[in-house]
Structure formats: structure tokens, C-alpha cells
């Protein structure tokens, strides 16, 4: 118990002392959120769509920190982590931060709708990358894949595989990412 108290105190201190957009990867990893450093480059502006076919890009989120998550309806770990992403968006989403979930590859709209209804995902966007162009540009080879993007549109960190995005470690990383 004392170890966890020390760890969360360190995470909170790191969130308060971090430079805007920087995430304390060591603290996140120590807390079980296995983030790797991002490449620091500006993210792709390859378009993706919504279910109605309207095109969007990550530029739509300019000025906001973004947790970009690539997932698929057929991916069991993706399906397991989506409720935590929904909870994170409900708690921390707003003018400074957005969880952006993109179904990559073949994901029939009825399957997406059914999953969102069953899992009660009421705070996440339904966005699509059916040809996986955006996912490929991010080097996604397996799902789920998550990219943390700062307010300036640069890749800060990434995590390949599932995570508990409603955890204290994830919230601390987002708090650091959105620090003024």
C-alpha cells in the first residue's frame, strides 16, 4: 500500500512539474502503463471518415491533446479496453483533450453499432479507416494501438497493445499531456 501511495504521489508531482505536452514515461511505465517515446514528429493528416462518409483529419483536433486509438470489432483486446477509453473521455475529455477512436480495417457498421450499444460506449466517436491508410502511416501492425498527440499535433508517446486507460497512471499521463 505504501509503495502505491509513493508511486501515485510521484505521478501527481510529475504531472504538476511537467513541461506542457511532456509525459513522464518512466513514471507511467512504473505504474504499469507501458508507454514508449513517440517520434516527436507532426502527425499524419491522412483523412479518415465518419459513418456518413464525411472526411476528417487529425487537424480537426488542433489545439487539443489527443489519445488516438486504432481498434477493430474483431479484436478482443480492443473490445476489452474500449470501456476504459469511454470512461477516460467522460472524465477528462473536453476543450483540452479528446479520445479519438478509429476503427481500422474491415469493420461493418452494424457490428460497430452493436458493439457500441452492448458496451454502452456513449462518449467515443465512431470514426473509420477502412483501408488502414492512417494506421499504416502510424506504423500500426497490431491492434489495439494508441498514440498520444500533444496540442501542437506531434506524437509524444505510443502504446502497442491494450491498456487500462481509466487507471490513475493513464489519467496522470493525460494530465501531463494537457498541462499548460
Residue 94: helix, strand or coil by DSSP? Answer: coil
Residue 158 has pLDDT above 90, yes or no: yes
Q: How far apart are CA 177 and CA 17, in angstroms?
A: 12
Lowest mean pLDDT among 1-10, 32-41, 111-120: 1-10
* All domains of the chain in start order, with CATH: 2-177 (3.40.30.10)
pLDDT tens for 94-121 read 999 999 999 999 999 999 999 999 999 9
CA distances to 87, 136, 177 from 173, in Å? 15, 25, 6
Mean pLDDT of the 12-36 span: 72
Question: What's the chain's average pLDDT?
Answer: 90
> Could you give the angle at the alpha carbon of 43 between the alpha carbons of 53 and 129, nearest 5°?
25
pLDDT band at 5; cut points 50, 70, 90: very low
Range with top average pLDDT, 24-28, 29-33, 107-111: 107-111
Beta bridge partners of 152: none
Q: How far apart are CA 110 and CA 121, in angstroms?
A: 15
Half-sphere exposure of residue 58, counting CA atoms within 13 Å on the CB side? 29
Element (H, E) at 112: helix 109-118
Q: What is the pLDDT of residues 67-101, one digit of tens each?
A: 999 999 999 999 999 999 999 999 999 999 999 99
pTM of the predicted structure, to 2 decimals = 0.88
Q: How many residues does the chain have?
A: 180
Q: Helix-strand-coil percent breakdown of the chain, rounded to 5?
A: 40, 20, 40
Amino acid at each position: 500500500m505504501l509503495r502505491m501511495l509513493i508511486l501515485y504521489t510521484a505521478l501527481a508531482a510529475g504531472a504538476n512539474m511537467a513541461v506542457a505536452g511532456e509525459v513522464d514515461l518512466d513514471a507511467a511505465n512504473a505504474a504499469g502503463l507501458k508507454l514508449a517515446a513517440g517520434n516527436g514528429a507532426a502527425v499524419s493528416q491522412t483523412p479518415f471518415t465518419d459513418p456518413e462518409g464525411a472526411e476528417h483529419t487529425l487537424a480537426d483536433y488542433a489545439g487539443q491533446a489527443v489519445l488516438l486509438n486504432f481498434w477493430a470489432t474483431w479484436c478482443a483486446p480492443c473490445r476489452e479496453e474500449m470501456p476504459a477509453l469511454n470512461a477516460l473521455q467522460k472524465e477528462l475529455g473536453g476543450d483540452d483533450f479528446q479520445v479519438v477512436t478509429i476503427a481500422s480495417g474491415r469493420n461493418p457498421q452494424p457490428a460497430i453499432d452493436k458493439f457500441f450499444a452492448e458496451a454502452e460506449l456513449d462518449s467515443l466517436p465512431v470514426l473509420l479507416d477502412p483501408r488502414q491508410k492512417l494506421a499504416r502511416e502510424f506504423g500500426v501492425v497490431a491492434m489495439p494501438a494508441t498514440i498520444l498527440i500533444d496540442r501542437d499535433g506531434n506524437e509524444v508517446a505510443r502504446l502497442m497493445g491494450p491498456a487500462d486507460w481509466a487507471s490513475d497512471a493513464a489519467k496522470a499521463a493525460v494530465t501531463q499531456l494537457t498541462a499548460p
